[in-house]
Amino acid sequence: MPKGVELPEEGYDKIYEYLEALYATIIEKDITQRYNINDKRAFNNVVKFVAAHIGSQVSPSSISKALKADNQGVHHATVEKFIGYLVESFVFYCVHRFDIKGKKQLATQEKYYLIDVGLLNVLIGRDRTANRGHILENIVYLELLRRVYKIWTGTLRNAEIDFTVKNRNGEIQYYQVSWTISNPETERREFTPLKMVKDNYPKFLLSTESFPHSRSGIIYKNVFEWLLEKI
């Protein structure tokens, strides 16, 4: 959120207070009033669950089952409505899956990304190092959105590509995002899906590391440099 960027000199507590107030106003108050949501506890449970699973494929039924297992029962139809309200209010963005081989959009197991990753401080706590890969994925998604790209999750038979996009010229591009690929297993996991795509469209692997990893026609880029590119 723009106001949050202006606050660093006042300390992280001020930023947290600002984000907390923003969450209370926009999500807890405005949305629940607009859509006449009476069970605010259930609504907040759904918001926090989706926030904790940004970048993961979820469905109303899988969310409902997970919440029930944690003694927070919410019917899947209610979960679906709540997610719809959040997407309509631009708190979360919904990303559909795209069958790369069949060239068609799929209707289930969408991914969701938060409008501002700063809100994760309020929703799931300040210590998020275990989730930093998906947070970086969320940041890349928002940049692709800023570049006015059409965005899907790319699906192959036994693999997935984080983002399949069409740029403003209608050209297809593929993006895989990883915090680091210095581990050989991680490197293999991130490169393999891109290698499986048998076309000649540009394929990118973005991570926080700076040394080159480009291979097999796949372009490796430092994600921070990519974010600062002029387009």
Q: What is the pLDDT of residues 106-144, one digit of tens each?
A: 878 899 999 999 888 888 876 666 688 999 999 999 999
Structure tokens at 134: 């998906």
What is the C-alpha to C-alpha distance for residues 114 and 27, in angstroms, rounded to an integer? Answer: 12
Contact between 188 and 218 under an 8 Å Cβ cutoff? The reply is: no
Helix or strand or coil: residue 26?
A: helix
Instruction: Indicate if the pLDDT at residue 22 is higher than 70.
Output: yes
What pTM was estimated for this model as a whole? 0.89
| C-alpha angle 150-153-156 in degrees, rounded to nearest 5 | 130
Dihedral of the alpha carbons of 177, 52, 141, 105, in degrees to the nearest 10: 90
What average pLDDT does the segment 209-226 reach?
Answer: 88
Count of domains observed in the chain:
1
Sheet strand arrangement including 97-99: 104-105, 97-99, 150-155, 160-166, 172-177, 203-207, 218-222
Q: What percent of the chain has pLDDT over 90?
A: 55
In the predicted structure, residue 229 carries a pLDDT above the cut 80 = yes
Which structural domain, as residue segments, surrounds residue 140?
2-227
Q: Which residue has the higher pLDDT, 102 or 159?
A: 159
Q: How confident is the model at residue 12 (pLDDT cuts 50, 70, 90)?
A: low
Per residue in 43-88, pLDDT (tens digit) is 999 999 999 999 999 999 999 999 888 778 889 999 999 999 999 9
Q: Is the pLDDT of residue 9 over 60?
A: no
Average pLDDT, the chain: 87
Say which residue, 3 or 63, is predicted with more confidence.
63
